[in-house]
Amino acid sequence: MARIARLRLSMTISILLTSIIFAAFLSVIMFILQLPIALAFVATLFFIFFQYLIGPSIVKGATHMRYLKAGENQWLESMVNELAKKSDIPAPKLAIVPDDTPNAFVFGRTTADATLAVHEGLLKRLRKEEVKAVIGHELGHIKNKDYLVMTMLTALPLLAYWISWGTFEAARWSNKGSSRKEKGDFRAALFIVALVSYIVYIVTLLCVMGLSRLREHYSDAYSAYVTGQPRQLQSALAKITYGLSLSPKPTTGARSFYISDPAMAKQEFQRIVRRKDAYDLDRDGVLDERELQLAMEKEAKSTWTTINAWFSTHPPTFKRILLLREIENEMSTGRYTDDRMYAQI
């Protein structure tokens, strides 16, 4: 499929671009500090491998999830097995997160040991057809190995940020040097390293975030294909965004794994509320379906939304719903086939 090849190419380019930028960054840093370059690359590889190993444990600890026993939720188990079989992937292990917000995510080291975690709020607030659409989205991530790529790739901007913070603090408190000039030169070098590290952090983060948003669109399209009901995911995304926007809980470090980013959901909902009068065309105090659709189209095209999305792990819900509507329209024509699964992206 041409479009899935595009996703893989985008992943490869993002990984190579981020790695090249980071490699050049390490070389410059080691040159400035007069340290062996090989040592920096070995340390980076070790850091990535370390994150790959402990990543699942961090997610488990941060979400307080628990694994479901066989037969504990027969409907969820059978539905996941059905979609996994249709997707030609091993059925993931199922877990429940004791959280009343509607959300779900997948994580793991390999496709065979992947875990699908579902929030209690998702099962309570969404209809079964909507839950199925969300599960289809998450299986799309497993199918394309998104979680594995993102776990390893996000290590690079994180490491650049830590180097920036560490060298900045070291420069503030440094007393190295037998003379004032030597001491000043060393502190200046540390400040330069801190500045360069922060710039690299921003650039590599933009690369990673761009790939993260793209993989969400692909998983949305995959859900539409595997369930045959894009409208159910549209409805689910709207409910999830609304539910997350009302949550008083702070966002966690695992937000990039979720089907919807809690922080972004709050911003999207608040922006619609602030501009409600502009979108309420008949002035009845309520946004009907047509008015809401027009609002979503305008928000999706706004400069503010575009710039804000650069630093977001997920595309705006407006854009995701509009993409699903395009897929739904194509399905209604009877031209939607396997090889056109990602044609609208």
Task: Tell me the domain boundaries of the chain.
Answer: 2-340
Residue-averaged pLDDT of the chain: 80
DSSP letter string over 243-254? HHHT--SPP-TT
Let me know if 33 is exposed, middle or buried by CB neighbors in 10 A (0-12, 13-18, 19+): middle
Confidence (pLDDT) at 1:
45
The amino acid occupying position 303 is T
Q: Is residue 260 classed as helix, strand or coil in its secondary structure?
A: coil
As a whole number of angstroms, the distance between CA 219 and CA 297 comes to 21
Average pLDDT on 243-264 reads 61
Q: pLDDT tens digits for 257-296?
A: 677 666 666 666 666 666 767 777 777 765 555 666 667 6
Q: Does residue 336 carry a pLDDT above 90?
A: no
Segment 56-70 shows an average pLDDT of 87
Q: Which residues contact 146 (CB under 8 A, 6 or more apart)?
A: 140, 215, 219
pLDDT at 254 (0 to 100): 55
- In terms of Cα–Cα distance, which of 160, 299, 145 is closest to 222? 145
Residue partners of 337: CB distance under 8 A and separation at least 6: none
pLDDT of residue 245: 62
Q: What is the band of 255 on the pLDDT scale with cuts at 50, 70, 90?
A: low
Tokens of 309: 């999305």
Range in 4-8, 73-77, 188-192, 271-275 the model is least confident about:
4-8
Residue 145 CB partners (closer than 8 Å, separation 6+): 111
**Active-site entry in 82, 120, 138, 297:** 138
Do 240 and 260 meet the contact criterion of CB atoms below 8 Å apart? yes
Kind plus residue range of the DSSP H or E element containing 94: strand 93-97
Task: Return the closest-CA partner of residue 245 out of 216, 215, 272, 219.
Answer: 272
| pLDDT greater than 70 at residue 48 | yes
- Percentage of the chain beyond pLDDT 70 is 76
Say which range, 95-109, 147-161, 213-227, 268-282, has the weakest mean pLDDT: 268-282
Annotated active-site residue 72? The verdict is no
Q: pLDDT exceeding 90 applies to what percent of the chain? A: 23
pLDDT value, residue 128: 95
Across 31-49, average pLDDT: 77
Taking only the tens place, the pLDDT of each residue in 99-118 is 888 899 998 888 888 999 99
Structure-model confidence comparison of residues 255 and 25, the more confident one: 25
Mean pLDDT confidence for 82-98: 95
For residue 184, what pLDDT is reported? 61
Query: Residue 119 has what pLDDT?
Result: 94
Instruction: Convert the pLDDT of each residue in 125-148 to its tens digit.
Output: 899 999 999 999 999 999 988 877
Q: Mean pLDDT: which of 90-104, 200-214, 325-339 is highest?
A: 90-104
116 bridge partner residues:
94, 106
* More reliable by pLDDT, 114 or 167: 114
